[in-house]
Amino acid sequence: MPRPVRIENKGSRGAIRVFALLCVLAALLLAGAAPAAEQRFVVTDQWVKDVATGLIWSRDANPAGRIMSWDDAVEFISMLNEQKYAGHADWKLPDIDELKKFTVAVKEAGDIDSFSGDITVASALTRVGFHNVQAGDYWSSTTSIYNATETWSMSMKYGGKTAGNKSLYMYVWPVRWEK
């Protein structure tokens, strides 16, 4: 049979010490916690920064205003850099891993279990603060290792990635690294 534990009354000073220790422990735990979902992205009038990756995305998810071939997308990015779009000349097409991490981050930031029906990557991105997000495919800079005429793309509808011919027409979303 277990023996009862005897608790001694240390008075109010003991209770204050225990309370203070619990407060310090709670503060330490909170300081090490991941940033809240709304802090994952910093939104300005021209771009949105993903704090976790250091990538800066154009706030306008379709600055070209149309779909285009991969070669035209590469030229469009060059034109943006010549014009110093949003004050910078180092924009690029995102690679497929950057796009995938981005869609996963948006899913987590929106506390979404899965994309389906009306809950799309595009609608989640709009809630984060992006404009003009299309629920279609976006080009990446990642060429297929199996076929040099194909490049990976990411769907902003349900977040799937596919390899497609560079002559297809898709959206362009510029991204840059924080310097």
- In whole angstroms, what is the distance from residue 107 CA to residue 122 CA? 10
Structural domain count, the chain: 1
What is the reported pLDDT for 112? 58
Question: Any residues with CB less than 8 A from the CB of 159 and at least 6 apart, and which?
Answer: 100, 103, 104, 107, 115, 121
Can you name the residues that pair with 170 across neighbouring β-strands? 68
Residues 114-135 have a mean pLDDT of 77
Q: What is the DSSP letter of 40?
A: S
CA gap 87, 81 in Å, rounded: 9
Residue 27 lies in a domain: no
Nearest to 61 by CA among 169, 112, 135: 135
Token pair in block for residue 51:
């704090």
User: How much is the pLDDT for 62?
Assistant: 96
Q: Give the confidence band of 109 by pLDDT, cuts at 50, 70, 90.
A: low
Average pLDDT over residues 37-62: 88
pLDDT recorded at residue 17: 57
Of the listed ranges 7-21, 83-97, 162-176, the least confidently predicted one is 7-21
Flag whether 14 is in a domain. no
Asked if residue 12 belongs to a domain, the reply is: no
Percent of the chain with pLDDT over 90: 53
Better-predicted residue by pLDDT, 120 or 101: 101
Helices and strands in the chain: count of H runs, count of E runs: 4, 7
Q: What is the pLDDT of residues 134-160, one digit of tens each?
A: 989 999 999 999 999 999 999 888 778
- Is the alpha carbon torsion for 31, 32, 34, 40 positive or negative? positive
Residue 59 scores a pLDDT above 70: yes
Q: 111: domain range?
A: 37-177
Is residue 140 one of the residues assigned to a domain?
yes
Residue 5 has pLDDT above 80, yes or no: no
Average confidence (pLDDT) over 26-40: 50
Question: Do the bridges between strand 161-165 and strand 150-155 make them parallel or antiparallel, or are there none, so unpaired?
Answer: antiparallel
**118 falls within a domain:** yes
Domain-embedded: residue 29: no
| pLDDT bracket for residue 69 (50, 70, 90) | very high
Phi and psi, residue 123, nearest 5°: -70, -35
- At residue 1 the predicted structure's pLDDT band, cuts being 50, 70 and 90, is low
Residue 174 reports pLDDT greater than 50: yes
Whether residue 19 is contained in a domain is answered as: no
Contact between 175 and 55 under an 8 Å Cβ cutoff? The reply is yes
Burial 53-83 (b: 16+ CB within 10 A, else e): bebbbbbbbbbbeebbebebbbebbeebbee
Measured at the CA of 51, the angle between CA 48 and CA 55, to 5 degrees, comes to 60
Q: What's the CATH code of the domain at 149?
A: 3.10.100
- In 3-state terms, what secondary structure has residue 6? coil
Model confidence band, residue 40 (pLDDT cutoffs 50, 70, 90):
confident
